[in-house]
Amino acid sequence: MNEAVKERYDADFWQSRLENLVEHYRPFSVSGRNAEYIPALGKIDSSQLGICVIGSDQTMIKSGDWDVPFTLQSISKVISFTAACLTRGISYVLDRVDVEPTGDAFNSIIRLEMHKPGKPFNPMINAGALTIASILPGETAREKTDSLYSTIEKMIGKRPVINEEVFQSEWQTAHRNRALAHYLKETGFLEADVEQTLEVYLKQCAMEGSTEDIALIGMILSNDGYHPFRGEQVIPKDVAKLTKALMLTCGMYNASGKFAAFVGIPAKSGVSGGIMCAVPASLKREQPFQTGCGIGIYGPAIDECGNSVTGGMLLKHMAQEWDLSIF
Amino acid sequence: MNEAVKERYDADFWQSRLENLVEHYRPFSVSGRNAEYIPALGKIDSSQLGICVIGSDQTMIKSGDWDVPFTLQSISKVISFTAACLTRGISYVLDRVDVEPTGDAFNSIIRLEMHKPGKPFNPMINAGALTIASILPGETAREKTDSLYSTIEKMIGKRPVINEEVFQSEWQTAHRNRALAHYLKETGFLEADVEQTLEVYLKQCAMEGSTEDIALIGMILSNDGYHPFRGEQVIPKDVAKLTKALMLTCGMYNASGKFAAFVGIPAKSGVSGGIMCAVPASLKREQPFQTGCGIGIYGPAIDECGNSVTGGMLLKHMAQEWDLSIF
Amino acid sequence: MNEAVKERYDADFWQSRLENLVEHYRPFSVSGRNAEYIPALGKIDSSQLGICVIGSDQTMIKSGDWDVPFTLQSISKVISFTAACLTRGISYVLDRVDVEPTGDAFNSIIRLEMHKPGKPFNPMINAGALTIASILPGETAREKTDSLYSTIEKMIGKRPVINEEVFQSEWQTAHRNRALAHYLKETGFLEADVEQTLEVYLKQCAMEGSTEDIALIGMILSNDGYHPFRGEQVIPKDVAKLTKALMLTCGMYNASGKFAAFVGIPAKSGVSGGIMCAVPASLKREQPFQTGCGIGIYGPAIDECGNSVTGGMLLKHMAQEWDLSIF
Amino acid sequence: MNEAVKERYDADFWQSRLENLVEHYRPFSVSGRNAEYIPALGKIDSSQLGICVIGSDQTMIKSGDWDVPFTLQSISKVISFTAACLTRGISYVLDRVDVEPTGDAFNSIIRLEMHKPGKPFNPMINAGALTIASILPGETAREKTDSLYSTIEKMIGKRPVINEEVFQSEWQTAHRNRALAHYLKETGFLEADVEQTLEVYLKQCAMEGSTEDIALIGMILSNDGYHPFRGEQVIPKDVAKLTKALMLTCGMYNASGKFAAFVGIPAKSGVSGGIMCAVPASLKREQPFQTGCGIGIYGPAIDECGNSVTGGMLLKHMAQEWDLSIF
């Protein structure tokens, strides 16, 4: 992608500001801690903080540990939802997963039992993401992940690498996800085998990316699915809008409401410390991001909700200073 | 307010389009029905449909039953939240009410019991709105409602009329709200007497307004609290942004997620059939609404979620045709 | 009643054993603490422990603080349920309150909302007891409490005294019970005004009795409603059996299952530290309690479930040593 | 066992009464229907009704389809709980499973999530029964089931036959049970592999027995674990009492409270239509059942709670006519 993006050096001002912000917020990583249920994540240097911002005008600025690869974890839920909509159509997908936020934990099973017939409330919680994984096209886990990788390739020009250590680690301890999947199997909201679905879901969680990769995906979403560097509509406009709405209402775990209130950007986080943002165009904003941008952030120390501590602080600051809020 | 708005007749094209849309969607009121738990609402002509759109450039177009007064019901929750933030400050308010969406019914009590210490999840559900009513400044119900009316006066230039019939009817059947209020009293999230709080809350629900009134409030919110006709910042920018975020994530009852996904406008509905929208400025949109607008809608036939059936259809159509989505 | 009971002094052996047990368990009151939400209860000497056992053969043994009056609190739920069945008939009562145990807290509101139409699960939790209070015969709170006092008079030969201090204290802090009552009013499971019902319910909770009083009621229940001293069936047999079943399955708050498992006696406790037991006749048991007995216990230090700490220990010991279990 | 029981023909009166009752209640099977989620159960003649009563005095009466073998289903939960207590000790078992009734469905997962740390509420619901299956001694499913079969052999003198068709059918559709088991695995309340535990659990559900077999087990429980025909204490007294308490409070699914109230006998039902009862000795009762008895019933048409329709009616009638209630 580096080739595709002309790094416009008239962006020097913004670049320099970004570097200041990254160094300012990096030390706050001490107030969070790495996700520990995955041993491979626990070992990572918590003080890492990186960011990449890609404007639809082909501007790109980046700072800190922007090029460290990390596993996408829940950020992949946005991609698999998009892939499902692309391949199955929105209405097929929404017959199987709703798009309503909940105040429940991401791995909660309660609502499936309380609300008949147990349709997952949205694709950003595990129950919904498992259903989405199960309806990706293909008869095997391989075919399903392939259809996911193709969607990613359309956006970032390459297929993702799977972190096998993380995948194996999650595979062996996925009791809660297996519980959810079996529950969904019973209520009819899983269209593939439980183990097959889990393989797809955990592989997507273990896909690696850098802040540049997710910034690019975020930028495409911000641009209603149109890839300006390629000059191609890679995601239909309605799917892109739907995806951004989901990110805003459900993307930041149980802090989604507060994130919408105080940052105001469609975003999706993962427990590995990544955050992918899609900032739509805005009249109010100055150049170079007036026509919208994608932001990728990586800071592995997370808070009790599962969101990157330093990433969240950095975003809140930028949203106010750079007028990024959609509200 | 009529005096304040110059009805720009170069808006003829939009005016005419609006009229076509209103007449097109009016007959669909048959697929909903008036709220029935308030007898006064049950008697109203279900086929009414009115709309008023006010641009921050002082454009105003309106159509159908735009001037029929109706009780604001849950739309008032937006106003009381704003008033509480204005008078108490955001942090005081957010210590007592969270801003997270839930998938629960608006009058649900479950989450208060399940999640210690029982802080209401957001001010758009009844539990949160009762807490908000209790913290409005003043020692008496009268003083508290006065502080609410003052906020409204700042925005629409007049104090609201209370529909006494509706107030009395709700007062006598407010068992569920009394249950919520007593529960909040026990857990310490109600700062006034239960009966006093209920009087404030039910009076605010019984405030009357027209689509023009709520369109104006919506426009001010869309404009980050700046009242362009008065040239005055009537609501601080941060309060306005927070309020719009809440409307988007929690404003349309249990269809908030779907409304965000398919309409994409910060909006708040009430069971009387009103919907208040705040459409921020957008680069993508054509004149005259590029710099943002407020929309007020009234259509008393509601769906099972509590939202105006024809109002929702009309908005969805407009959002797509006029590019009103914030995403 | 003292006149009615011939204290059989051939019961010397049992008397002496009882005294040893009371003195043995009294010091364990330090592992509990008095209920504190009612100031009047907080002030009481926690080390009190008293017991009275009345056999249907007119044997009576008692020890310790057996004659200290205490407020019946939840023990009164057994009496009001019985009174409702006596005056309204079992089927009328069971149309309004179920008899199923739950694992929820006694003051929980969740299940009312989760299980439509919100019929209280049993009369031993507050929701059910409020419904029962509302259906006692009479148009006023006075008439309803009168019908309750009459039932008590039939059993113990006197009308209860109300502890006004406790009543006033509970009346002013009954937010949770008011929440429950308003909820029940909305769902149609309250047949009287909320405030009237609360007055009846809190008066019944504030009725004073001694261990002798509740032992006598327990003995009558154990004897299927037949009052052997009066030679009169004061409660119909089917009501007595139903009441004992409820005591066993739901009588000891959230420890009812463990109490059934390790003590095995129909019993009802109150937060003031009382426990009323109805021990049916048994072939396995020795004289003098083979034909059944009632047991009244008072020990104000309660555990986290709300049951008397020393009372529970004493009962468990007696149940094993004296073969009191119904299983 | 037939050899062990002297069928006392002075029991002619009771035998004849029993036959009348069976024929009276048999036609009521039309108000229920066979469990359908297991195809093999769906095919069975719904009008079957059989009963066997075995007194601890070695009396035995039986009538109707008493000798039809059926799969024990949930009745096996009583046996596995007993086996776990026998082999692991009561306190080991109760550290892993509580003994509190709930008002939830037998296959509910909600309470595990709502109540930290998710200890199953009792061994009669699926969550608890799965935990019990996992702690049976042995490293393999085979060894675990063997320890269960040994317990049964001690009581009825033979090892049970597994209905392979039923086992296979349940094995393939056990999504809900797999969900529960994985959930328990995560929270640490499953001590064996998920699949191993499920094999044990579903095998125990598929064990076949006749009304005579379960009447014998019920009789031994009623007799506090003493096997009168063998002259041997096959289950310790405390385990037997604990088991009966569990049967009374939790044995009849969500109708346990009503069954306790109107029948008053420790009993456990299964969806195949079986009911196993343990009727303790009673002073009040006439011969031949004064010293206690076990009752086995089989009637495959079940009600919406999962209990045999005709079996429940028959028991209620017998409980009243023969004074079988423990209350």
pLDDT tens readout for residues C241-298: 999 999 999 999 999 999 999 999 999 999 999 999 999 998 888 777 899 999 999 9
For D129-178, the DSSP string reads HHHHHHHSSSSSHHHHHHHHHHHHHHHHSSPPPB-HHHHHHHHHT-HHHH
Strands B70-71 and C293-298: unpaired
More confidently predicted of A229 and A11: A229
| Residue A183 at interface with chain D, using a CB cutoff of 8 Å | yes
Check if D74 is active-site: yes
**D12 contacts: CB under 8 Å, gap ≥ 6:** none
Catalytic-labelled residue, pool B201, B210, B244, B256: B201
Query: What distance in Å separates the CA atoms of residue B52 and residue C216, rounded to the nearest whole number?
Result: 74
Same fold, B9-68+210-321 and B75-205: yes
| Residue D178 at interface with chain A, using a CB cutoff of 8 Å | yes
Tell me the nearest-neighbour CA distance from A44 into chain B, angstroms: 31
Query: What distance in Å separates the CA atoms of residue D252 and residue D268, rounded to the nearest whole number?
Result: 6
pLDDT in single tens digits along all 327 residues of chain B: 444 444 444 668 899 999 999 999 999 999 999 998 888 899 999 999 999 999 999 899 999 999 999 999 999 999 999 999 999 999 999 999 999 999 888 889 888 888 888 999 999 999 999 999 999 999 999 999 999 999 999 999 999 999 999 999 999 999 999 999 999 999 999 999 999 999 999 999 999 999 999 999 999 999 999 999 999 999 999 999 999 999 999 999 999 999 999 999 999 999 999 999 999 998 878 777 899 999 999 999 999 999 999 999 999 999 999 999 999
Q: Are D82 and D228 in contact (CB under 8 A)?
A: no
Catalytic-labelled residue, pool D22, D97, D200, D271: D271
Q: What ipTM, to 2 d.p.? A: 0.95
Nearest CA in chain B to C110: B110
Catalytic-labelled residue, pool B5, B194, B263, B271: B271
Chains in contact with A, where contact means 3 or more Cβ–Cβ distances below 8 Å, are B, D
User: What single-letter amino acid sits at C324?
Assistant: L
| Residue A283 at interface with chain D, using a CB cutoff of 8 Å | no
Query: What distance in Å separates the CA atoms of residue A138 and residue A131, rounded to the nearest whole number?
Result: 14
Q: Is D307 marked as a binding-site residue?
A: no
Token pair 């059939």: residue:
B273
Nearest to C261 among D99, D104, D283 (CB): D99
Domain extents in chain C: 9-68+210-321, 73-205
Share of chain D above pLDDT 90, in %: 86
| Residue C175 at interface with chain B, using a CB cutoff of 8 Å | yes
Q: What is the structure's pLDDT at B10? A: 60
| Residue C230 at interface with chain B, using a CB cutoff of 8 Å | no
Tell me the nearest-neighbour CA distance from A197 into chain D, angstroms: 14
Q: What is the structure's pLDDT at C250? A: 97
Tell if the CB–CB gap between A283 and B291 is shorter than 8 Å: yes
Tell if the CB–CB gap between C182 and B182 is shorter than 8 Å: yes
User: What single-letter amino acid sits at B53?
Assistant: V
State the sign of the Cα–Cα–Cα–Cα dihedral D103, D109, D115, D118: positive
Helix, strand, coil content of chain A in percent (nearest 5)? 50, 10, 40
Query: What distance in Å separates the CA atoms of residue D99 and residue D252, rounded to the nearest whole number?
Result: 14
Q: Please state the rounded mean pLDDT for residues A192-221.
A: 98
What CA dihedral angle connects D104, D107, D109 and D110, to 10 degrees?
-20
For C95-132, the DSSP string reads HHS-----SS-TT--HHHHHSTT---S-TTSHHHHHHH
Q: If you classify domain C9-68+210-321 with CATH, what class do you get?
A: alpha beta
Catalytic-labelled residue, pool A271, A272, A298, A308: A271
Residue B192's CB is within 10 A of a number of other CB atoms, namely 23
Single out the residue of B279, B283, B249 nearest to residue B265, CA to CA: B279
Q: Could you tell me how many CB contacts below 8 A there are between chain A and chain D? A: 51
| Residue D121 at interface with chain C, using a CB cutoff of 8 Å | yes
Nearest CA in chain D to A105: D113
Tell if the CB–CB gap between A183 and D176 is shorter than 8 Å: yes
Q: Please state the rounded mean pLDDT for residues A141-166.
A: 97
Nearest to C110 among B114, B175, B178 (CB): B114
Q: pLDDT averaged over chain A? A: 94
Mutate to test the interface with D, among A178, A184, A193 (most CBs of D within 10 A): A178
Q: What is the structure's pLDDT at A10? A: 61
Mutate to test the interface with A, among D107, D109, D116, D187 (most CBs of A within 10 A): D109
Q: Are C274 and C65 in contact (CB under 8 A)?
A: no
Single out the residue of D289, D327, D296 nearest to residue D311, CA to CA: D296
| Residue D283 at interface with chain A, using a CB cutoff of 8 Å | no
Check if B201 is active-site: yes
| Residue C6 at interface with chain B, using a CB cutoff of 8 Å | no
CATH architecture of C73-205: 3-Layer(aba) Sandwich (3.40)
Q: Is A177 marked as a binding-site residue?
A: yes
User: Which ranges of chain D does DSSP label H, i.e. alpha helix?
Assistant: 12-25, 39-42, 75-88, 90-96, 110-114, 126-135, 141-156, 164-172, 175-187, 194-205, 211-222, 237-250, 256-262, 309-321
Task: Give me the half-sphere count of Cα atoms (radius 13 Å) on the Cβ side of residue A49.
Answer: 25
Q: Please state the rounded mean pLDDT for residues A123-139.
A: 97
Tell me the nearest-neighbour CA distance from C213 into chain B, angstroms: 33
Report how many helices (DSSP H) and strands (DSSP E) chain B contains, helices first: 14, 9
The β-bridge partners of A209 are A70
Q: Are B97 and B123 in contact (CB under 8 A)?
A: yes
- Classify domain D75-205 at the CATH topology level: Beta-lactamase (3.40.710)
pLDDT tens readout for residues D3-16: 444 444 466 889 99
Q: What is the structure's pLDDT at B2? A: 44
For B26-74, the DSSP string reads GGGGGGSB---SSHHHHTS-TT--EEEEEETTS-EEEEESTT--EE-TT
Tell if the CB–CB gap between A110 and D108 is shorter than 8 Å: no
pLDDT in single tens digits along all 327 residues of chain D: 444 444 444 668 899 999 999 999 999 999 999 998 888 899 999 999 999 999 999 899 999 999 999 999 999 999 999 999 999 999 999 999 999 999 888 888 888 888 888 999 999 999 999 999 999 999 999 999 999 999 999 999 999 999 999 999 999 999 999 999 999 999 999 999 999 999 999 999 999 999 999 999 999 999 999 999 999 999 999 999 999 999 999 999 999 999 999 999 999 999 999 999 999 998 878 777 899 999 999 999 999 999 999 999 999 999 999 999 999
Q: Which residues of chain C have pLDDT under 70?
A: 1-11
Query: What distance in Å separates the CA atoms of residue A155 and residue A227, rounded to the nearest whole number?
Result: 7
Region class of A60: left (phi > 0), else alpha (psi between -120 and 50), else beta: beta
Q: Could you tell me how many CB contacts below 8 A there are between chain A and chain B? A: 121
Chains in contact with D, where contact means 3 or more Cβ–Cβ distances below 8 Å, are A, C
